[in-house]
Amino acid sequence: MLSSKIHRSVLPAASASRRFFHAEVHNKELIQSAGFINGKWVNAHSNKHFAVMDPSTDKEIARVANMGRVETDEAIAAALAAQKKWRKTTPAARSVLLKKWHAAIVANTEDLAVIASVESGKPLPEAKGEVAYAAGFIDFYAHEIMHSSGFLPSSSASDHRIMAIKEPVGVCGIVTPWNFPLAMITRKLGPCLAAGCTAVVKPAAETPLSALALAKLADDVGIPAGVINVVPSPNDKAAEVGSALTSSHDVRKISFTGSTRVGKLLMEQSAETVKRVSLELGGNAPFIVFEDADLDKALDGLMASKFRNTGQTCVCSNRIFIHASIYDEFAAKLVERVKKLKMGPPREEGVNLGPLIGPNAFLKTSELVEDAVTNGATALVGGKRSDIGRNFYEATVLA
């Protein structure tokens, strides 16, 4: 049974948040600061909020409901109740709603891009690209569910028949990172909803506004109450919310994108209730250039793979291996290209590189570069803080 407190303190407006975005966001209803549980915009039981920062200015842009275990338990209960009905809807009915959600996302591309850019710091053109990327997942699964069915595998016994029937897993706990605050939500919610499952989403503390905007659009197009629930929480409550999801017998699957350390922890915790777990964890991708490579094409690939989202993706090229015979030429050309990158406020025209996500990311980057230089590396370009702002670190090439 859902707590009666689920209807407490329904927030009429995210006024503080909206003031910051008023000049850039046209659909002000997309900017929400409450949690979204059982189709209602609700505050935390404590009535506390946590700050969301613009990493390019290091200024607060919103205060969002500070939710923890109690609210997560309520969201799980709402998702469980909704799932009993949602799983009985036809694939065609679910497909129609997903297509409507996709259309709403596309129609609000400009506003969603601004929201994602403001809270994540990624350049606006990249944010617009992410909206299209995010919408694509919803569209794909809206069509894919119409072709998903069971099958009849052959049996080892002539008088036996084997049937494989696909059924919804149940309530899914979804935990997402800040570097793709829209696409990592839809990549998980698309198949979840299409399959007849419901979800409790815990977005990254740095970027909850994007998740809440997607929930608003889902609600607007008629996705039923409780099918999608969003529980925003600060980093100091991440373990509390994660534990609520992994320990609940009502949550049957965990989907997580983030660090290997946290992924291991979620897998360990989920074993207690034998949950299905899908993990996309950190990477350390190599980039290899052989002596017969087309250097210009190789550089095109490297620039795209390394500096996307200011180098803050799990598939960025972190280790570059160049054949000795072309090393000097490649390094010189790389430095030339890196120097042409424009760093600045993410919504400024022509900017290629925005800030790092926050002070901790800046500190980690600084320490890694300092350690490399101390141990013999040379900074061919960059290697220090940019004068633009606190979280801006110059594009750097170490050799």
The CA-atom distances, in angstroms, between 175 and each of 80, 227, 255 are 18, 16, 6
Q: Are residues 66 and 212 in the same domain?
A: yes
Across residues 258-271, what is the average pLDDT? 96
* Number of compact structural domains in the chain: 2
Quick one: average pLDDT of 149-164?
84
Catalytic residue among 24, 110, 144, 280: 280
- Which phi and psi (to 5°) does residue 56 adopt? -80, -25
Average pLDDT over residues 45-66: 95
Q: Are residues 252 and 342 in the same domain?
A: no
Closest CA relative to residue 200, chosen from 169, 227, 168, 180: 227
**Could you tell me if 266 and 383 lie in one domain?**
no
User: Shortest CA distance to 208 belongs to which of 237, 185, 236, 239?
Assistant: 185
Residues 220 and 341 in one domain: no
For residues 191 and 80, state if they share a domain. Answer: yes
Q: Are residues 60 and 133 in the same domain?
A: yes
| For residue 350, pLDDT beyond 80 | yes
Does residue 233 fall inside a structural domain?
yes
What is the reported pLDDT for 22? 60
Domain boundary (223, 253, 274) is at 274
Q: Count of H helices and E strands in the chain?
A: 12, 13
Q: Which residue has the tokens 């160049």?
A: 322
Q: Which two tokens stand for residue 262?
A: 């946290």
Report residue 143 CA to chain centroid gap.
Answer: 23
In a domain, 59, yes or no: yes
Long-range contacts of 151-156 (CB under 8 A, 24+ apart): none
Chain Cα centroid distance, residue 328: 38
How confident is the model over 198-212, as a mean pLDDT? 98
pTM above 0.75, yes or no: yes
Per-residue confidence (pLDDT) for residue 286, from 0 to 100: 95
Burial class (CB in 10 A: 0-12, 13-18, 19+), 385: middle
Whether residue 294 is contained in a domain is answered as yes
Radius of gyration, alpha carbons of the chain: 23
* pLDDT score for 6: 40
Q: Which of 254, 73, 89 is nearest to 173 (CA)?
A: 254
State which residues form the domain around 93: 4-274
Would residue 280 count as lying in a domain? no
In contact, 27 and 58? CB cutoff 8 Å: no
End-to-end Cα separation, the chain, in angstroms: 61
User: Quick one: 220 and 308 in the same domain?
Assistant: no
pLDDT in tens, 248-261: 999 999 999 999 99
* Same domain for 131 and 20: yes
Q: Per the domain annotation, does 11 fall within a domain?
A: yes
* Average pLDDT estimate for 166-190: 97
Residue 394, domain member (yes or no): yes
**In the chain, pLDDT over 90 holds for what percent of residues?**
87
Of 178, 217, 169, 216, residue with least CA distance to 196: 169
Work out whether the CA dihedral 57, 59, 63, 64 comes out positive or negative. Answer: positive
Which DSSP state fits 241? H
Domain boundary among 274, 303, 330: 274
CATH number at residue 318: 3.40.309.10
Task: Clarify whether residues 269 and 335 are in a common domain.
Answer: no
Q: Does residue 279 form part of some domain?
A: no
Specify the residue for token string 């969002």.
64
Residue 280 annotated in active site: yes
Which pLDDT tens digit goes with each residue over 69-102? Answer: 999 999 999 999 999 999 999 999 999 999 999 9
Residue with structure tokens 């609000």? 108
Question: Where on the phi/psi map is residue 316: left (φ > 0), alpha (ψ -120 to 50), or beta?
Answer: beta
